[in-house]
Amino acid sequence: MPEQLTSGIARRVASLATAGAFALGSVVMLAPPAAADDYERTPVEIISQIEARSWPQYSVGNPGPNVDVQAALLFLNGLGYITQNPGCLYNDRAESTVRNFERREGITVNGVLDSTTWVKIRNMHFPTEADAYKRGDRGWGVLAVKVLLNSKYNAGLSLHEYYDAATENAVRNAQRSLGIGVDGAFGRLTYKGTITAPGGSTCQNLPRIAQDERPAADAESEAVERPVREGAPEAAQKPAEEVAPEEAVRETVEEEAPEVAEKSVETPAGETERVRGY
C-alpha cells in the first residue's frame, strides 16, 4: 500500500484510539489547534492521483519556458540558493543554481530540474504535514506560490512577497480545482498539485522585492503578524529528507520569459519521497 495511504490511515486510527481512551477515562482536553494537513482533509483517491503524477523536468536541452522553472528558482532563493531575477527559461544560470543545490544538499548532481530536485525542495520547504505557507507569511516561497497561481489558475495576484487575503483565496480556488481539502494554506500536497498541473506558459517579470512591502488592508487587519517563514533573500534553510519518485512528463510551452531550461531524472540513493500535508 502506498506510503501516503498507510500513514494517513495510521494517523486516523491513532487519533480515534486516543479519542476513545480519553472518553473512557472521562478526561477532558482541549482540541489541538488545526494544522495544515492535506492528507487529513483530502479523499484518499485524490491523494493517490496527485501523488502519482509525474514531476515536470527541465534542463538546458529542454528549457521551457514554463512558470514551473520560475517557481522552482524562487523556492530555491528561499533556501539560500540565489538566482537574480529568475525567469521561465531554464538557462545556464538556472542550471548552475540547481547544480549548486544538488551538490550541497547531497542529491544526484546533474543540473536537471527533475523529480529528485522537486522532492528535495518540497521536503525542505514543507518538512512535516503541518508545514505550509499561510496568510501573514512572506518571502521568496510566497512569491513562488503567486507566480504558479497567476500562470496556472489566472489568479491575478500582485507580485509582492506577502501572503495576503487575495493569495489565500487564490490558493482555496486552486485547492477546489485539484480536489484537495480547502483551507487556503499552501503545503505539501498543494505544492505537488500545482507544480504538476497543466499550463504555465504565461510568465511575469518579477518586481524588485521589498521585504517590508505589505498591503495596507492586511497590515491593519492583523494585530499580530505571523512569524516570517523566510528571512531576507540570502537566508538559507536546512533540509529534510525524501525521495523522488517517478519520471516526469514535460509539456512544451510557448512564451516569453527571462531565463531557464529542462529534462532528465534520477533518484538519489538516500532519499525517499515522504507524502504529507499539502
- 109-119 pLDDT tens trace: 999 999 999 99
Nearest 5 degrees, angle CA 123-CA 54-CA 203? 80
CA distances from 68 to 11, 114, 224, 227 (A): 32, 11, 33, 27
pLDDT in tens, 258-272: 443 333 334 444 444
Which is more confidently placed, 135 or 245?
135
Query: CA 109, CA 248: separation in Å to the nearest integer?
Result: 17
Residue 3: pLDDT band (50, 70, 90) is: very low
The answer to whether 232 and 80 have CB atoms below 8 angstroms apart is no
Query: CA 50, CA 85: separation in Å to the nearest integer?
Result: 30
Query: So what's the pLDDT on residue 183?
Result: 93
Query: So what's the pLDDT on residue 37?
Result: 62
Query: CA 93, CA 160: separation in Å to the nearest integer?
Result: 23
Sign of CA dihedral 165, 167, 168, 170: positive
The least confident of 46-55, 66-75, 214-223 is 214-223
| pLDDT over threshold 50, residue 103 | yes
pLDDT in tens, 122-165: 999 999 888 999 999 999 999 999 999 999 999 999 999 999 99
| pLDDT over threshold 70, residue 19 | no
Query: So what's the pLDDT on residue 27?
Result: 31
Query: So what's the pLDDT on residue 36?
Result: 52
Query: So what's the pLDDT on residue 107?
Result: 96
Query: CA 144, CA 167: separation in Å to the nearest integer?
Result: 11
The least confident of 9-18, 55-64, 172-181 is 9-18
Assigned C-alpha cell, 250: 514535460
